[in-house]
Amino acid sequence: MSPLRTGFLFAALVSTNSFADENLTIAVASNFQATVNEIAAEFMAVTKIPVRISSGSTGKLYAQIVNGAPYDVFLAADSARPKLLEEAGAAVKGSRITYATGALVLWSADSALKNKDCLAVLKSGSYRRLAIANPLTAPYGLAAKEFLQAAGLFDEAENRIAYGENISQALQFVVTGNATLGLIAMSQVKGRLPVTASCSWNVPSTMHSALDQQAVLLSGSDNADAARKFMNFLQTTQVAMILEHRGYTVPE
């Protein structure tokens, strides 16, 4: 399966009795895919606008947008790339918002670590592999690298890091046992994981750059009205409740 997974929500989100004239295509960072599926379903219920979701690492989606991919809205896992798009004219000026702030978790499903201290295991070096997302393309991967550097652990861990193309692949590595430990998103921990954690530790936000996730309306959108409706919907109390339930901090 391709690392860039495109999920078509038409069957799930579109009423059999009525189709809206507008169709919305949203590019979404991998860590936010499950959450946006829930948000999109609520959005469809309110507006009757069909939604299509395309997910991948923030860096890869950014590259696709720069090269003309026909997305309407970009939900990144950082603030840097939406800002770059806005500055380059690829996003509508003034449309950029912080829709959520994420968190990082050190996590394991290794039965040998049951009831042990994940951080102590990481510090001691008594693990086989550590999974993180690619720091060059995935903001959660960059945050993981920054944490390891701040803790003075990166040099020792570097040769044992398994890099996922995105945070979803990093989670896959640790869930399947290909990595002993993983630095994954809190939203993934709050989701329905196929295995139970043996240990976990919440990484302090002071040990890495803020995981402020920004959304932006793309200039090339053919569905600007629908896109604006979705951007407005992201800022509702209804969505804030979904975000908090899934482990995100909601901007005030």
Domain residues of the chain, as ranges? 5-101+211-245, 104-207
Query: Is pLDDT at 252 greater than 90 in this prediction?
Result: no
Cα–Cα distance for residue pair 74/85, rounded to 1 Å: 10
Homologous superfamily, domain 5-101+211-245: Periplasmic binding protein-like II (3.40.190.10)
If 0-12 CB within 10 Å is exposed, 13-18 middle and 19+ buried, where does residue 237 land? exposed
With bands split at pLDDT 50, 70 and 90, how would you rate the model's confidence at 192? confident
Question: Residue 185 has which token pair?
Answer: 């998103």
**pLDDT digits over 116-139, tens only?**
999 999 999 999 999 999 999 999
- The Cα–Cα gap between 52 and 226 comes to 12
Maximum pairwise Cα distance, the chain: 60
DSSP state of 203: P
pTM for this entry = 0.86
For the stretch 141-173, pLDDT in tens is: 999 999 999 999 999 999 999 999 999 999 999
Q: Cβ distance 61 to 138 under 8 Å?
A: no
182: which strand partners?
A: 107, 131
- Among the four given CATH numbers 3.40.50.800, 2.40.50.140, 3.40.50.10490, 3.40.190.10, the one describing domain 104-207: 3.40.190.10
Give residue 92's Cα distance to chain centre: 22
Q: Report whether 150 contacts 68 (CB < 8 A).
A: no
Asked whether the predicted pLDDT for residue 178 surpasses 90, the reply is yes
**Residue 63: pLDDT band by 50, 70, 90 thresholds?**
very high
Residue with tokens 């393309």, as numbered in its chain:
137
